[in-house]
Amino acid sequence: MLLDIGIIPMLTSLLLVGSTFKNLAFGTLTKGTNHDLVMRRYLDFHGISETSNITYYDSFYDADAALKNDTLDYVMMNAVHPQASSIVGSDFRNVFIIDTFISPSKPLVVATRKDVADPQSIGILYLSVANYTDTSKWSDVVQITSGGLVQIAQDLLDGKYDSAIIYQDTALANSDVLQIDEELGSPDDAWLLLGRNRTYTNSVLAWPNAPVTWQWKKQWY
């Protein structure tokens, strides 16, 4: 599993909150999404799964509101989620990026309903997965800018479009009505943890001995 975090201020923040014997309150997108998967990985990595609660939201705007009114302590989101730039940009004085890390997600596929002989429309989460396949094959590219891949898969099953980029496990679970046209795999995504208290203290808040430094040393020596 690719998940490496080395930011001491963030850990200190977690420990201080945890020392009050109050479970940490995290928020992210709906169960079954990449956000759910990676949120659990992150908590396991830090060893705080047993002392943390996860609340799931259909929209990051709702999660952001819960963070600002103290309902949540932290919100986790994919850096390329359609709502990420809006939330980070509009709330930069009140909500801060306090940790970042890399983790792969669920494998993705292009799936089409089996009852469609000549697919004309495809649903994609825009901009997140817009360039994962050649969408010129479809005459109607439906760009979804809210929600997530779970909802897009349901819309595909409901006939809202002929094809869609969805999770591979969802396509396999519905193999009686969906066929996989293309396996896209999983990118190494960048993830953001948002909080109310800034961890940034220096010109660069980073991991001095991060794995990338090993690559540099190989070139030098």
pLDDT tens figures, 153-195: 999 999 999 999 999 999 999 999 999 999 999 888 999 999 9
In this structure, the answer to whether residues 96 and 13 fall within a common structural domain is yes
Domain carrying residue 133: 108-185
221 located within any domain: no
How many structural domains does the chain have?
A: 2
In this structure, the answer to whether residues 86 and 52 fall within a common structural domain is yes
Pairing of strands 140-144, 121-125: parallel
Contacts of 185 (CB under 8 A, 6+ apart): 107, 108
pLDDT tens digits for range 6-63: 444 455 555 555 455 689 999 999 898 899 999 999 999 999 999 999 999 999 999 9
Tokens 């679970």 belong to: 173
216 located within any domain: no
With CA atoms as reference, report the closest residue to 28 among 78, 101, 77.
Answer: 77
Does position 213 have pLDDT exceeding 60, yes or no? yes
In this structure, the answer to whether residues 17 and 98 fall within a common structural domain is yes
pTM equals 0.78
In this structure, the answer to whether residues 99 and 192 fall within a common structural domain is yes
pLDDT band at 221 (very low <50, low <70, confident <90, very high): low
Specify the amino acid at residue 136. S
Residue 147 falls in which region: left (phi positive, over 0), alpha (psi -120 to 50) or beta: left
- Percent of the chain predicted with pLDDT > 90: 65
